[in-house]
Structure 1
Amino acid sequence: MARMFYRYSAMNAGKSTYLLQVAHNYNENGSDVFLLTSALDGRDGYGVISSRIGLRREAVTYTPNTNFNELLKEVSVACVLVDEAQFLSFEQVQQLHRWVHIRGIPVMCFGIRSDFQGKPFPGSAALLTLADDLEEIRTVCTCGKRATMNIRTDENGERVRQGEQVMIGGNSRYRQVCGKCFYS
């Protein structure tokens, strides 16, 4: 039976590397995958999933208006892999979840749970509710404890506590932290 997977973590845990490794494994076994990434993420070019260690693959981009029922209607692959899944809407997660169980093809989503203020992203909240299999990808805070939260910094490296949930501009303005450092 196919399942929907959600692999989540704080920033800088290797989610995209993990996704690209899964894609590679399917391809090495002669199976095709369908790669998706958010149009909001253009750090390394739009329609690209890339990792900080240099791995990269082309992907189809999705927007808040993407209808996955239509997009995946004719797709015939072994697995669908979704990067930056926190940017999905609740309705899009429902569409993907339904697609998994109707088509019998797994979907693996990768993303962060919460923003720099500790608030959930809609896609993450939906995935934590609907995914059939959850796994935390662990990373470490600078203090050495398990990082589960994210903070945003300004151009001077000072912590930012207010602002839009999504800031286009990339990883360099975000850090992963433990709960204690988040509240300090």
Structure 2
Amino acid sequence: MAKLYFRYGAMNSGKSTALLQAAYNYEERGQHVLLAKPAIDTKGAEQITSRLGVTRDVDFLIRPGDDVRSLFAEHRSRLHRAEVDTLIPDHGGMSIDVACLLIDEAQFLTREQVDDLLRIVVLDAVPVLAYGIRTDFRTQAFPGSRRLLELAHTLEELKTICRCGRKAIFNARLVGGRFVFDGDQVAIDELSADRVTYESMCAECYLRESGGRLG
């Protein structure tokens, strides 16, 4: 049975690397995958970019008002048409199809778009692997992440460590090298004139920097 997976972790926990590895694993076995990410993630433009330097183009971008199931159906049909156009011979009696949909930066999806992911899994029988972070720099859940925590069949944590060596669970924001705890929920790292960056932190280090403040 197809499932909706949410694989989450603090920043720098290797989420994009894990996604690209999962895509490679499918394709190494002769299966086809589709890759997508929210358009709001302007870092990497139309690519999924791993901090290890590995990149790959997405098959489609998801904009805030998009119907993800319709986008998926469109690109799934394109794959079927490509099979016909290239006159690919019989594959052991099986037609080419999408084996998995992989979503990067899933925290930026809307609640309705996460609902679409569940429909793809249940109604279209295609597994969906969604990768993202749970909370923003104020320790508040992103809408997409909250809905994934509510709906996903399987939750998997990808771990990374804080500068002190403990497990990191929060994502602290720095502007010009200084920690900030107010501002818009979304600010893509390293694209701002003030150089917005992030640091993965454990709860103890986060509270120390924030003066005990949460949210």
User: Which of structure 1's runs of 4+ aligned residues deviate more than 3 A?
Assistant: 169-172
1:94 offset after TM fit, Å? 0.6
SS of corresponding position for 1:70: helix
Of 86, 94, 113 in structure 1, the residue corresponding to residue 107 of structure 2 is: 86
- Deviation (angstroms), 1:168: 2.8
Q: Is 1:5 aligned to residue 5 of structure 2?
A: yes
Structure 1, unpaired ranges of 5+:
none
The CA distance in 2 between the partners of 1:52 and 1:141, in whole Å, is: 17
How many angstroms apart in 2 are the aligned matches of 1:11 and 1:95?
25
- Report the alpha carbon displacement of residue 96 of structure 1 after superposing the two structures with TM: 0.8
Deviates more, 1:94-103 or 1:162-171: 162-171
Letter in 2 for 1:182: Y
How is 1:4-153 mapped onto 2 (pairs within 5 angstroms)?
Answer: 4-44=4-44, 46-59=45-58, 60-74=60-74, 75=76, 76-153=97-174
Cα pair 2:174 2:198 within 8 Å, conserved: yes
| Local SS of the residue matching 2:73 | coil
Provide the rounded CA distance (Å) in 1 between the counterparts of 2:165 and 2:71.
42
By how many angstroms is 1:182 displaced? 1.2
Partner SS, residue 150 of structure 1: strand
Secondary structure of residue in 2 paired with 1:108: strand
The alignment yields a C-alpha RMSD, in angstroms, of 1.2
Match of 1:162 among 182, 185, 189: 182
* Corresponding letter in the other structure for 2:142: F
Indicate the SS of the match to 2:122. Answer: helix
Give the secondary-structure state (helix, strand or coil) at the position aligned to 2:186. coil
Identity of aligned residues (%): 45
TM-score normalised according to structure 1 size: 0.95
Tell me the equivalent position of 2:203: 179
CA distance in 2, matches of 1:37, 1:82: 5
Q: Give the C-alpha shift of residue 103 in structure 1.
A: 1.1
TM-score (norm 2): 0.82
Partners in 1 of 2:159 and 2:190 — Cα distance? Answer: 20
Query: How many equivalent residue pairs?
Result: 182
Deviation at 1:170, TM superposition (A): 4.2
